[in-house]
Amino acid sequence: MKFYLPPQISRLAIAFAVFITLFLVARHFLVPETFGQYGHYRGASLDDNAMPVIHFSGQQACLDCHQDIEDLKLQGPHKGIHCETCHGPGQAHVVSGEAKDIFKPSGREFCGNCHSSNAAKKKETIHQVNMSTKNPGKNCTECHNPHQPWKVKK
> Among 56-60, 136-140, 143-147, which stretch is predicted with the lowest mean pLDDT?
143-147
Instruction: Supply the mean pLDDT for the chain.
Output: 86
Q: Which of 73, 89, 104 is the last residue of a domain?
A: 104
Query: SS3 letters for 16-84?
Result: HHHHHHHHHHHHHHHCCCCECCCCCCECCHHHHHHCCCCCCCCHHHHHHHHHHHHHHHCCCCCCCCCHH
User: Does residue 119 form part of some domain?
Assistant: yes
pTM metric for this prediction = 0.58
Can you give the residue range of the structural domain that contains 79? 55-104
Residues 146, 132 share a domain: yes
Nearest Cα residue to 84 out of 66, 106, 102, 64: 102
**Segment 107-133 mean pLDDT:** 81
pLDDT tens string 13-68 = 999 999 999 999 999 999 998 998 888 888 888 888 887 777 888 889 888 998 99
**Do residues 77 and 149 touch, judged by C-beta distance below 8 A?**
yes
User: Does residue 3 form part of some domain?
Assistant: no
Residues 14, 38 share a domain: yes
User: Does residue 1 form part of some domain?
Assistant: no
Number of H helices, E strands in the chain: 6, 2
User: Does residue 149 form part of some domain?
Assistant: yes
Residues 92, 115 share a domain: no
Tell me phi and psi for residue 145, to 5 degrees: -85, 120
Burial class (CB in 10 A: 0-12, 13-18, 19+), 111: buried
Residues 100, 59 share a domain: yes
**Do residues 101 and 88 touch, judged by C-beta distance below 8 A?**
no
